[in-house]
Amino acid sequence: MIDATDWIWISAGAAVGMLQTVSLWRSVHHPTVYSPLWGLLRLAAVAAVLVVAAISGEVLWAAAGWAIGFAISVGWFGGRRWRGNDDEMSMRHAWPSSRRPD
């Protein structure tokens, strides 16, 4: 039976999974000098949640929440390309029609 603390760990894992996906997407599409630092912070945040969950004996629920959050976010950002909302699509439409390099 899933009790209240399990839901808390599922929610914490899902939040970290979604934040990790958003951070990965932004680092790839908008790279900056600080992208490697964000990568380390991203991994540290996920590790911190999983370590604290492991200490409390709830690591499976936190990992399941992380997987759910990561999968939902990947589906959302992956769907952007299929819906035509990707950066490359918007750049292609930014060209004047007479000078578009098709």
Query: 26-63 pLDDT, tens per residue?
Result: 888 888 888 889 889 999 999 999 999 999 999 999 99
Q: What percent of the chain has pLDDT over 70?
A: 75
**CB 21 within 8 Å of CB 69:** yes
Taking only the tens place, the pLDDT of each residue in 62-96 is: 999 999 999 998 887 766 655 555 555 555 555 55
Which pLDDT does position 102 carry in this prediction?
Answer: 55
**CB 45 within 8 Å of CB 19:** yes
Please give the biggest Cα pair distance in the chain: 64
